[in-house]
A = this chain, B = another copy of it.
Amino acid sequence: MNSSKDISKIKKEYQKFKNSKKLLDLTRGRPSSEQLDLSDNLETVIKGDFIQDKVDTRNYGLLEGLPSARKLAGWVLNSDPANIFVNGTSSLTLLGHYLHSMIFHGDGQVAWKDLDKVTFLCPVPGYDRHFAMLEKLGIKMISVPLVGDGPDLDSIENLLETDETIKGMICVPKHSNPTGETFSKEKIEALASINRDGFKIIFDNAYAVHDFNNSKKLPDIEKIFIEKNSHDSLIMLGSTSKISLAGSGLAFISLSPNNMENFVNYFSKFSLGSDKLNQARHTRIFNSKKALTEHMQKLAKIIKPKFDLVFEKLNELPDGLAKWTKPSGGYFVSFDSLKGNASKIHKLCEEAGLKLTPLGATFPYGKDLENKNIRIAPTQVELEELSEAMDLFCICVLLAEES
C-alpha cells in the first residue's frame, strides 16, 4: 500500500480482514517453534551421567548454581563467573527475589522497608513486565526518555537532584525492549558515575547475545562500574529463555561481592538449591563461547527475515505518519504514531482480530501520555501470518489517520 491509495479501498481491505475472523497475534516476545527446535538436543545430552562439575546434579544444594553454569552465564552477561548466581528458569522471578531482598534485608546500609520512599527511574518506552512488578511492590516510578543510545542524562541528573526517594533505575541495555537501542559507553560511564548511597541500577540484559544483524557492541558494563568504584550500584540480569527454551532455560543475576552476600543471606531462606540437572543440560550443549555464538547465529537466521518483513511493510507507509525503530537484535520493533493515534490504531487492530501488547504497557502505570507507542513482536508467528498481520497493522495506521 502507499500514500496514494484510495481510502475507500483501504476500508474495504480492513473489512475483509474483519470478516475473515482470523486471529493474529503480535503481542509477546516469544520464540517460534522453529527456534525452540534448535534446543531439542538439551533433552538427550545427559545420557545417564548426572555428575557435572563433580556434583550429583539430582540432589539439593548449590544455591548459586554449578560452576559451569555460572561460567556460561558469564559469557552471556560479560561478567566474572564469581559474581554470578544461577537459579530457576526466569530472570523476572530472579529480579523479584532481588527486589524482595532489598525490601526485607537490604544491603547492610539501606533497606527499602519504607516503600513510600522508594522510587525507580524508568527509561521509556520500556519493558512492561518491569513496570508491572515495581507497581505491584509499591515502588514508585518516574519515566526518563530513551534517546537512541540510552536514557537522557540531563533528565536523570535533574531528577536525582530534586528527589531523594530515587533509589534505583531499571533498564534493558542492549536491543532494549521495545526500542532496540543499545547503550553507549558515554551513557554507561555516566550511570556508573552516579554517586548516591545505596543506588542500584538494574540492567536486565535479556538480549545480550541476541543479534540478527551486525550490532553496535555493548560496552563492558561490569568493567566500567568497577573502574568507577560503583560495583555495588550494578545489578545485571539475564537468562537463556531466548537462547534455549523459553519455559525451561536458566536465569542468572550478576552481583558485586557485597551485593551477593546480602542477596544470598536473604534468598537462602527461600530455597535449598538450584535445578542443577537443567544447568548440566545447558552447560554440556553450550560448552564454549563458540558453541553459544554459533547457536545464536542459527537463531538469527530464523529471526532476521521476520524483522526484514516488518521493516518492508512499515516502509510502505507514507511519510509523516509514524516512526519506528530498526533494531539489529532483540525481539521488538517500537512503533510511534507521530500524531498520537496509538489508541485508535490499537482499537482498529483488535476489532479486526490482531492482538497487540496492551496500550500504554511500555510505560510505568500503563500510561502513554502522548498516546503514540505500540510494540510489535514479530518472532513467534510464521512469515506468512506475520505478513498478513503487518498488512492489517498498516491498514489500521492509515485508517486511524483518516477517522
Contact = CB atoms under 8 A, between A and B. Distances in A.
A135 to B, nearest CB: 8
A320 interface: no
B30 A270 contact: no
A74 interface: no
B136 A93 contact: no
5 contacts: A30-B60, A36-B50, A36-B58, A58-B245, A88-B93
Given A40-B50, A133-B270, A248-B275, 16 more contacts: A30-B60, A36-B59, A43-B46, A57-B247, A58-B246, A59-B246, A59-B247, A60-B246, A90-B273, A104-B137, A133-B269, A135-B269, A247-B277, A248-B276, A248-B277, A248-B278
Interface of A: 28, 30-31, 33, 36, 39-40, 43, 46, 48, 50, 56-62, 88-90, 92-93, 95-96, 100, 104-105, 129, 132-133, 135-138, 241, 245-248, 266, 269-278
Return the 5 tightest CB-CB contacts between A and B, nearest first.
A96-B270, A248-B277, A36-B58, A136-B269, A58-B245
Contacts of A43: 46, 48, 277
A265 to B, nearest CB: 9
A271 B247 CA distance: 10
Contacts of A88: 88-89, 93
Contacts of A129: 269, 272
A93 B271 contact: yes
